[in-house]
Structure 1
Amino acid sequence: MSSKLNIFEFSNPSIRTLHISWVAFFITFLVWFSHAPMLAFIKEAFDLSSQQIKALLILNVALTIPSRIVVGMLVDRFGPRIVFSALLFTGSFLCWGFAFATSYEMLALFRFLCGFVGAGFVIGIRLVGEWFPAKQVGVAEGIYGGWGNFGSAAGAMTLPTLALLFGGDDGWRYAIALTGAIAFVFSFIFYINARNTPKGSTYFKPKRSGGLEVTSKGDLYFYLAMNIPMYIALAVLAWKLSPENLGLLSELATNTLYVVLLVLFVFQTSQIWKVNKEHLQKGVAEIEKYKFKQVAILNWSYFVTFGSELAVVSMLPLFFMDTFELSAVTAGLLASGFAFMNLVARPSGGWLSDNLGRKKTLSVLIAGLSVGYLVLSQIDGLWFIPLAVVATMCCSFFVQAGEGAVFAMVPLVKRRMTGQVAGMAGAYGNVGGVTFLTVLSFVDASTFFMVIAGCAALCFILVQFLDEPSGQMAEVMADGSVELIDVA
């Protein structure tokens, strides 16, 4: 099969699956970030303080970290068709709950629950990986991720206008509710049209549920250690909501959350041990082995790529406004270039990965984003504004192409666990967002950009330890026979 991919070949079932996948992902991001362009309306309707608005923004990403792990397990076990349909269906009701909330407490609760919708990204990674061969999977995953991720930008551009068209004090409610209605309708469209695999192909499932199956004791300890940063990020989010910061939670509630996170960590550790204990004692056949370091390095790569994107998108409008003394509208338009790059950058990262090599492409893109953030750290009020915008968009290209390169490799680690690998990498992206935004709360913008550049430089070193996917990976059929899947 050719490495070229014709996205207009609608008679091809793989292409139809790609389009229905990115549209589903687009809708999840539309719902997940539907509140962002409406915050001015919401603030006025509920007479909220700036601290309460900040709390809503934090709550919006809090649940996404654990939910991406859980959804990754669900998609590997039940298949993308059922899980994506269910997530869209459930997400519509969560969206409506937020849209028609009557108190700040209800707003906060449903904004927190809407973070679950942000896990939709993971599902399509497994689905697209099933439908495209190794030589096309990078660009296919890039199109899925880049076009789907644009849902947040599309919402920002259209929802305020829709709110004004609906009119009245509740126009913003109807605009947000409309995104829920779209998710509700598409949940049925997706279920009717999507299929987990091409006709005649096997959908491989993990032998056990509760965690990734690793293939050596060293990898087991490595896996357990890699879970720790996710719990630290969740603890940081709880701390941000504590009386010491935003004050949304009482001291008792904050301490209770810390205890709950500790209990969850112990429980997850026990589940991972349970999943891996028996087969590690017996020994894993050489043909079934994979290296967990591949997963870990991809996690950290997504930490610096998507994590920095989440943080920068959040602060860039204010950065332009303060640096160049611009109006909020002008600064927002100039900063939107960062998100717009998703449409071409992610597919480009996937295409480069397919054609020039996975490791080489990821190395170049991580190095490029490190340099890009160093350049951004030098921007001040003396810069020519168009030059600052160009620098921002160039940096954005490396960031989002890097995201595409990460997920060009994820489906090539271990087919039956692609959902869980994608879930963990996706969660690390959110961990990166929490980490960099926390750094921003303590330092100025220039230092913030330099910290990201430094993290990317460290990640570049890690990427050199990646193994280029080669040969074939083995999956065992239900009858005991072995199927070999090309990864190069």
Structure 2
Amino acid sequence: MESTIKFSIAVDSDHRATEFRPFSISSPHMRAFHLAWLSLFSCFFSTFAIPPLLPIIREDLHLSPSDVGTAGIAAFAGSIISRLAMGPACDLFGPRLASATLSLVTAPILLSAAFISSPLSFILLRFFVGFSLANFVANQFWMSSMFSGCTVGLANGVAAGWANVGSGLTQLLMPIIFSILNTNFNFTQSASWRLAFVVPAVFQATMALLVLAYGQDLPDGKYKKFKKEEKDSFGLFLNGITNYRGWVLGLTYGFCFGVELTMDNIIAEYFYDRFGVNMETAGVIAASFGFANWVSRPTGGVVSDELGRRFGMKGRLWGLWVVQTVAGLLCLWLGRVNSLWGSIVVMCGFSFFVQAASGLTFGVVPFVSKRSMGVISGMTGSGGTVGAVVTQLLLFSGDTKFSTQTGISLMGVMMIVSTLSLTTIYFRDGGGMFCGSSDYDYQPLP
């Protein structure tokens, strides 16, 4: 790297930013930030464009509750596979190329909604569209490549948090787009919901092209240029997959972000069915759950960095445990509230804490392994979608004996229990929850 390179933002010896300016587009750090979160935003918008229209889709395609549940599981199952692959892809090719390629491949799949006519084709649609959520791994890898340890928690939290708002905005906008096509342009209901998916598909493809045109993998240039040393892909994968910390973080992430994904999948239908609100109102309520990401996940990143500065890795781990445990308690409570407004209030509190826990998780991830950062990010990210599959399959598949509200409460219990695994994490330099130095200057493991 050339030491004479000048940046418009303070950087460390590796040229990674030591400050975070979210309202700047200075190249390359903040430009990468904005491209990363907007690209992932478009993927969340696409993936969760389907649930708010389920009341119409299930009637048009004659879907049973079991079909709807299976489709929800399929969406997350597709994401598991793609997230596991995205980690090594980022390590080998860089986040820019990996992210844009996946978006360009999956955007046309959403357009195929115009041709589906059976429960099986609907399930397959959700499975393949779910692949796009693997861009989350590229998002977090990119931020960890651009921002130094003192601010990476904040950068990761804001990039993912703002992107996750896409899952809320789509809950609000897709019913409106459907209504405009159906009412103003006189399309049939069947044609309207199919045509509505053109909007998220075009948005996703556009963002992918912008990432390719204007993105930069590293502070000093493209990934290929500055990673000329030949990497052993199997060695990278093995180094990451054998690090138990990645497995623990994958488990806990499965019951914060995984629970968030499940709620994105069921929340509009839950309020529609349980409290008798119309589709538009259910969409607004569900949107508020996703909109909380605008501040909640970034707050988790800020808290992680601040606790890291004060107490080292011990602070980051304790912060994650406390926040995720509170989220679990609120989730348990949400399933036991019987009034509409009471449910909305508890849901808002729950959404803040569960999303903040996701931000706190990725305040820890960059310190697990510098060499296999992509693999660890992929393992953790995949854990999120595995958690979503598990909760969807066990509690909301349409074939379970549990009511939806009971399933929500049981999800809270699962969150509380899984988070106890954080007590097993120990870093050679940073310690763990019950031991370790308060010195912030610990480094990622090799």
Q: Distance in 1 between matches of 2:331 and 2:407?
A: 10
Aligned partner of 1:199: which letter? Answer: D
Q: Distance in 1 between matches of 2:262 and 2:298?
A: 22
What is the aligned-residue identity percentage? Answer: 28
Aligned partner of 2:215: which letter? Answer: A
- Provide Cα deviations, 1:184-218, integer angstroms capped at 9, x if missing partner: 22222110111111116844888322475456xxx
2:217 matched to which residue of 1?
Answer: 196
Would you say the 8 A contact 2:169–2:287 is kept in 1?
A: no
Structure 1 residues 91, 322: closer, same or farther in 2, change over 3 A? closer
Match of 1:389 among 324, 334, 344: 344
Structure 1 residues 189, 3: closer, same or farther in 2, change over 3 A? closer
Would you say the 8 A contact 2:324–2:353 is kept in 1?
A: yes
Match of 2:67 among 35, 52, 66: 52
> Are residues 1:186 and 2:210 paired?
no
Note the C-alpha offset of 1:412: 2.3
> Are residues 1:84 and 2:43 paired?
no
Q: Distance in 1 between matches of 2:349 and 2:302?
A: 18
Q: Distance in 1 between matches of 2:327 and 2:126?
A: 33
Summarize the alignment of residues 193-342 of structure 1 with structure 2, pairs less than 5 Å apart: 193-199=214-220, 202-203=226-227, 207-210=231-234, 212-214=236-238, 223=242, 292-317=243-268, 319-320=270-271, 329-342=280-293
Summarize the alignment of residues 151-166 of structure 1 with structure 2, pairs less than 5 Å apart: 151-166=166-181
Aligned partner of 1:407: which letter? Answer: F
Summarize the alignment of residues 460-471 of structure 1 with structure 2, pairs less than 5 Å apart: 460-467=419-426
Q: TM-score, normalized by length of structure 2? A: 0.80
**What residue ranges of structure 2 are gaps of 5+ in the alignment?**
1-9, 11-16, 431-440
2:438 matched to which residue of 1?
Answer: none
Which segment is superposed worse, 312-321 or 95-104? 312-321
Q: TM-score, normalized by length of structure 1? A: 0.73
**What residue ranges of structure 1 are gaps of 5+ in the alignment?**
224-291, 472-483
2:435 matched to which residue of 1?
Answer: none
- Provide Cα deviations, 1:144-193, integer angstroms capped at 9, x if missing partner: 11111121211121122222323302222222022212222222211011
Would you say the 8 A contact 1:323–1:380 is kept in 2?
A: no
Q: Distance in 1 between matches of 2:229 and 2:407?
A: 42
Q: Distance in 2 between matches of 1:24 and 1:310?
A: 18
Note the C-alpha offset of 1:374: 2.9
Match of 2:300 among 341, 349, 362: 349
Q: Distance in 2 between matches of 1:352 and 1:26?
A: 23
Summarize the alignment of residues 135-174 of structure 1 with structure 2, pairs less than 5 Å apart: 135-167=150-182, 168-169=187-188, 170-174=191-195
> Are residues 1:439 and 2:404 paired?
no
Summarize the alignment of residues 51-130 of structure 1 with structure 2, pairs less than 5 Å apart: 51-130=66-145
Q: Distance in 2 between matches of 1:308 and 1:327?
A: 24
1:262 matched to which residue of 2?
Answer: none
Structure 1 residues 317, 177: closer, same or farther in 2, change over 3 A? closer
Structure 1 residues 376, 32: closer, same or farther in 2, change over 3 A? closer
Would you say the 8 A contact 2:429–2:442 is kept in 1?
A: no
Local SS of the residue matching 1:393: helix
Note the C-alpha offset of 1:20: 0.5
CA RMSD of aligned residues (A): 3.2
Would you say the 8 A contact 1:130–1:197 is kept in 2?
A: yes
Would you say the 8 A contact 1:323–1:381 is kept in 2?
A: no
Q: Distance in 2 between matches of 1:401 and 1:298?
A: 15
Number of aligned residue pairs: give it: 403
Aligned partner of 2:132: which letter? Answer: V
Q: Distance in 2 between matches of 1:76 and 1:150?
A: 27
